[in-house]
């Protein structure tokens, strides 16, 4: 999670919402990314989506079934659905997102009967730092 938090800080410095993501396979880092929506002009370029794409390309497979996704913010519904489709084994996230989250808030994608894969989910890892990064970022814009 430390690397994901550092990537989130980099994103904030570049004007992106501070969210970072890392995919690991065992002890190996497979992909590390951050939000890139503004810089890429791509509304789907959330850190999780970028990490899933990069990990799948590096591993040469669409199934990341032995991987862990570390992300600083609770994934939105779009990212949660992608996590399910990618068959990610473990999801570890920092701060909860009461407004836009799709895992423990909002649509709770992994609890839906149409969800065919549910990762092992654990939140609250690095939560204070992740939440503070977001507060600082949005505080400067209000």
Q: Is 74 a catalytic residue?
A: no
Contact 12, 139 (CB under 8 A): no
3-state secondary structure of 68: strand
- Return d(Cα 93, Cα 90) in angstroms, integer: 10
The token pair at 41 is 């002009």
The closest of 106, 25, 26, 110 to 59, measured between CA atoms, is: 25
115 marked among binding-site residues:
no
Q: Choosing from 48, 74, 128, 132, which is the catalytic residue?
A: 48
Eight-state DSSP code of residue 103: S
79 marked among binding-site residues:
yes
Q: For the chain, what is the largest distance between any 2 Cα atoms, rounded to a whole number of angstroms?
A: 43
* Number of C-beta neighbours around residue 27 at 10 A: 5
Mark the binding-site residues for Zn(2+), compressed into ranges.
46, 76, 79
Active site residues: 48
Mark the binding-site residues, compressed into ranges.
46, 76, 79
């Amino acid at each position: 999670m430390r690397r994901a938090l550092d990537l989130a800080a980099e994103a904030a410095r570049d004007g992106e919402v501070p969210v970072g993501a890392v995919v690991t396979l065992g002890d190996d880092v497979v992909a590390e990314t951050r939000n890139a929506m503004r810089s890429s002009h791509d509304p789907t370029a959330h850190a999780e989506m970028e990490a899933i794409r990069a990990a799948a390309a590096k591993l040469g497979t669409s199934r990341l079934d032995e991987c862990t996704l570390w992300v600083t913010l609770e994934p939105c519904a779009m990212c949660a659905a992608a996590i399910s489709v990618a068959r990610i084994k473990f999801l570890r996230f920092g701060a909860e997102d009461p407004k836009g989250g799709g895992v423990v808030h909002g649509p709770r994608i992994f609890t839906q009967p149409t969800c065919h894969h549910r990762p092992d989910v654990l939140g609250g890892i690095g939560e204070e730092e992740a939440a503070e990064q977001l507060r600082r970022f949005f505080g400067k814009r209000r």
